[in-house]
Structure 1
Amino acid sequence: MPRTPLAALSPADQERRRALRRMKAVALGALLFMAVVFAVSFPLQADVPWLAYVRAAAEGGMVGALADWFAVTALFRHPLGIPIPHTAIIPSRKDEIGRTLGEFVETNFLSTEVVRTKLESMSVSRRLGEWLARPEHAARVADEGSAMAAGVLRALSDSDVQDLIADVAREHLVEPDWGPSVGGWLSRLVDSGAHHGAVDMLADSLGVWLEGNRSSFDGLVSSRLPSWVPSMVLRIIDDTLYKEALSFVRDVRGDPDHAARRAVDQYLTRLADSLQNDPATIGRFEDAKSGVFDSPRVRELAAEAWDTTKSGLLRSLSDPDSGLRARMTQALIDAGTRLSTDTALQQRVDGWATDAAVFLVDRYRHDIASIITETVERWDPVETTEKIELMVGRDLQYIRLNGTVVGALAGLVIFTIAHALVG
């Protein structure tokens, strides 16, 4: 597996490096101090007896300092470059450490009990509601959501969307037979008398038109009669035709049981029955439907509708003062206010969120934890060691310093007890 170099040192890492160097210097200074004390006290202890105690303390301090230096150094590299077994632990066992860390996180942090307990104690919905209820936060969410929606719209291919619309329309509108469904709907419409309103409206509209367009009947019939018919007769014919048409429409409007109305009812009843049971009628209806949907003009209208819809949405999404953005913001504020005050809703939302999170963690926790393992495996061993040493090395230098002090005290105590017992 190719190694992935870590990121360059950040300002914080550079400060950690300076602090690490200072602590290394302090720990080394303590060791050198003990060595100087030992070098001075060792040859003089025969002449100055109490210097034996100083020599023992310095000797123990050097031993403690060297032992802890070896232990700390062995974590990150071979001491003095010598490949002593069980040294350079981090670079040599980096992958194993990554696997162990991944297993530790999976077992102790991604368990369903831990996730459920944590989420149940957080009141996620109430906190979210209180945050969303603030107008500036709702506006921010609306802004981000608008930017994301606009990005999705721009990324969509117009031709792909049009093809999708065409496929969906064909699957759900063109391919299914409409005849029996339309026939059943029309039959229920006639049985309920719901179409009478449409007949009334048609009769009213026709009556209004007739009353305002008397001149449209001039010559409607008379122009087709022989020229030898007297003009008076022609006018009488036109007037009679107009009056009869007007009278017919008035009768239809005023008589709910008019023969024309019954004829309409009978026609619609026959049409509904034919659409449900007559294969020929059903076939003609389906052919007409297919012809409409397959018409190039219909396709052009669908494309124009998508273009208009897309352009309108993009304008509304990009304009902070648009009605769409304002409604989105207000809807978020309203949702946040309700979430922050409605206890029952909070319980439902918290339950949904907790169940969803527990399901995802239970199903994918191994995959989530494997991110740690795989990421550590890709790291370069040397750079990984340096990075970890920057994070914890300064504290480990305190171990060296403490080892020096503890070693000195231990050496002094051991020498004192031995001198007291042996003399």
Structure 2
Amino acid sequence: MSRTPMALLSPADQERLRGLRRMKAVALGALIFMAVVFVIAFALEHRYPWLAYARAAAEGGMVGALADWFAVTALFRHPLGLPIPHTAIIPNRKDEIGRSLGEFVETNFLSGEIVRDKLSRTALSKRLGEWLQDPGHAERVAAEGSTAASAVLRALSDDDVQGLIADLAREHLIEPDWAPSAGGWLERIVEADAHRGAVDLAVDSISTWLHANAHTFQGLVSRRLPGWVPKLAHRFVDETVYHEAVRFVEAVQADPQHPARQALDGYLARLADRLQHDPAMRDRFEGAKAAVFDSPRVIALAAQAWDTAKNGLLTALADPESGLRRRAASAVAEIGRRLATEPALQARVDGWVTDAAVFLVDRYRHDIASIITDTVEKWDAAETTEKIELMVGRDLQYIRLNGTVVGALAGLAIFAVAHAVIPVPLGLG
């Protein structure tokens, strides 16, 4: 009988306990009934000889009931509290039973062939696809995935992420030498005249600025002239410089072979060569690169970029109507549609799942089965006995009841055969 308070049992265990108690009462009632029949028949058989048959049946029923009661009770505890050998089998051999159960599961269930055969006959991907293509299910998957992603983002330490980004940037951006690669790219750009567009854009921008900012040249040169130079000369000098600058820029715009353009081409070619072959230039370039990346402003911008990206993701993940959530749900539904309708994709996915399951079972079958063994070993002996008795005890009470009935029938049959073979007047047996 369960020693755990009823309120602490699960609803299923409470129902099992009630069923166990009912069957124990029925089995005990059958034993008491046989005892009453035996007492009455034993007391009155001299007056009513035919009661000898009832007595024989009752004797057999009591023997069968007591024998099966002893056998069933011996599984879980010592009958009547007596330390009889080979009783209380489950509490005394709990660990061995757990090991045997684990070995049984490992041998008969955790087999690659069994898993492959079962999965090969189960349309896993098709069923999954049919479930996923439902809009409600796709939205649910997207919502659960968003919740998980949000939890991961919130769990991440901003300092750790920024440190990781800095380490990755240093490993992949700062530590490698850029100069040779940059020089090679610049050389190919110059050889292909691919820089012409950029030069034209720069010249056009300068021209636009000059036409819009003529006043900027006022005093640009004249303020450096001696004080005795007339003011009119000051204005003349400033206007001359401005107009010369405009004419120079317009000449560069108009002439693709302008000396300034050729000089720029030569400078870029020399720069490309020095970046590839001049150690001093390469060191200067790498130093400038490191200074840019290590500057506080760049570090602050990187941290701000992470904060912005993180907050934006959290906002989008939390909003069911965000574009990210809608696209995620749409993508899940599309995956489901393809899984449900494309046999080739189904075959590939089923093959991947089956191979993965077989690999895991073959590699970790002992570890999986050891969960059963380790769990049973951790159980208290009394708790284990109680759990098993709640699971199978009700059915075992049927053995007691059946033993009572079969014992009664056997006793009656033995008595009848013996009386037929060796006739003895009834009432004298």
- Name the TM-score, length of structure 1 as normaliser: 0.92
Establish whether residue 291 from structure 1 lines up as the match of residue 294 from structure 2.
no
> What residue in structure 1 maps to residue 275 of structure 2?
275
> What residue in structure 2 maps to residue 173 of structure 1?
173
Runs of at least 5 residues in structure 1 that lack an aligned partner in the other structure = 1-6
> What residue in structure 1 maps to residue 41 of structure 2?
41
* SS in structure 2 of the partner of residue 159 of structure 1: helix
Q: Once the 2 structures are TM-superposed, how far is the Cα of residue 151 of structure 1 from its aligned partner?
A: 1.6
> What residue in structure 1 maps to residue 22 of structure 2?
22
* SS in structure 2 of the partner of residue 220 of structure 1: coil
* SS in structure 2 of the partner of residue 33 of structure 1: helix
Q: Distance in 2 between matches of 1:140 and 1:268?
A: 58
| Cα distance change, pair 258–344 in 1 and its aligned pair in 2 (3 A) | farther
Q: Distance in 2 between matches of 1:417 and 1:191?
A: 119
Within 5 Å, give how 1:371-382 maps onto structure 2: 371-382=371-382
In terms of mean alpha carbon deviation, does 293-302 or 73-82 score higher? Answer: 293-302
* SS in structure 2 of the partner of residue 268 of structure 1: helix
Within 5 Å, give how 1:80-119 maps onto structure 2: 80-119=80-119
Aligned-residue sequence identity (percent) comes to 71
Within 5 Å, give how 1:141-220 maps onto structure 2: 141-220=141-220
For 2:353, the aligned partner's letter is A
> What residue in structure 2 maps to residue 348 of structure 1?
348
Establish whether residue 386 from structure 1 lines up as the match of residue 391 from structure 2.
no
* SS in structure 1 of the partner of residue 83 of structure 2: coil
> What residue in structure 2 maps to residue 304 of structure 1?
304
In terms of mean alpha carbon deviation, does 97-106 or 258-267 score higher? Answer: 258-267
Q: Once the 2 structures are TM-superposed, how far is the Cα of residue 234 of structure 1 from its aligned partner?
A: 5.4
> What residue in structure 2 maps to residue 4 of structure 1?
none
Output the aligned Cα RMSD.
2.1
1:284-324 residue CA offsets vs partner (Å, 9 max, x unmatched): 01111111122122222222222222222222222233222
In terms of mean alpha carbon deviation, does 24-33 or 327-336 score higher? Answer: 327-336
1:141-185 residue CA offsets vs partner (Å, 9 max, x unmatched): 222222222222222222222222211111111111111121122
Q: Distance in 1 between matches of 2:333 and 2:36?
A: 73
Q: Distance in 2 between matches of 1:280 and 1:219?
A: 40
Q: Distance in 2 between matches of 1:202 and 1:178?
A: 25
Q: Distance in 1 between matches of 2:417 and 2:191?
A: 116
Establish whether residue 262 from structure 1 lines up as the match of residue 262 from structure 2.
yes
* SS in structure 2 of the partner of residue 367 of structure 1: helix
Q: Distance in 1 between matches of 2:405 and 2:299?
A: 88
In terms of mean alpha carbon deviation, does 134-143 or 390-399 score higher? Answer: 134-143
In terms of mean alpha carbon deviation, does 44-53 or 333-342 score higher? Answer: 44-53
Q: Distance in 1 between matches of 2:105 and 2:191?
A: 69
1:381-413 residue CA offsets vs partner (Å, 9 max, x unmatched): 112111211111111111111111111111222
| Cα distance change, pair 257–347 in 1 and its aligned pair in 2 (3 A) | farther
Q: Once the 2 structures are TM-superposed, how far is the Cα of residue 420 of structure 1 from its aligned partner?
A: 2.1
Q: Once the 2 structures are TM-superposed, how far is the Cα of residue 342 of structure 1 from its aligned partner?
A: 2.1
Q: Distance in 1 between matches of 2:68 and 2:15?
A: 24
1:156-215 residue CA offsets vs partner (Å, 9 max, x unmatched): 222222222211111111111111121122222222222121112112212222233333
* SS in structure 1 of the partner of residue 8 of structure 2: coil
1:48-107 residue CA offsets vs partner (Å, 9 max, x unmatched): 332222222211111111111111111111111111111111111111111111111111
| Cα distance change, pair 367–273 in 1 and its aligned pair in 2 (3 A) | same
Q: Distance in 2 between matches of 1:79 and 1:318?
A: 63
> What residue in structure 2 maps to residue 359 of structure 1?
359
For 1:312, the aligned partner's letter is G
In terms of mean alpha carbon deviation, does 94-103 or 42-51 score higher? Answer: 42-51
In terms of mean alpha carbon deviation, does 326-335 or 277-286 score higher? Answer: 326-335
> What residue in structure 2 maps to residue 65 of structure 1?
65
| Cα distance change, pair 352–253 in 1 and its aligned pair in 2 (3 A) | farther
1:216-250 residue CA offsets vs partner (Å, 9 max, x unmatched): 33443344445666666655554444343333323
- Name the TM-score, length of structure 2 as normaliser: 0.91
Within 5 Å, give how 1:307-346 maps onto structure 2: 307-346=307-346
In terms of mean alpha carbon deviation, does 30-39 or 223-232 score higher? Answer: 223-232
For 2:329, the aligned partner's letter is T
Residue-pair matches, total: 417
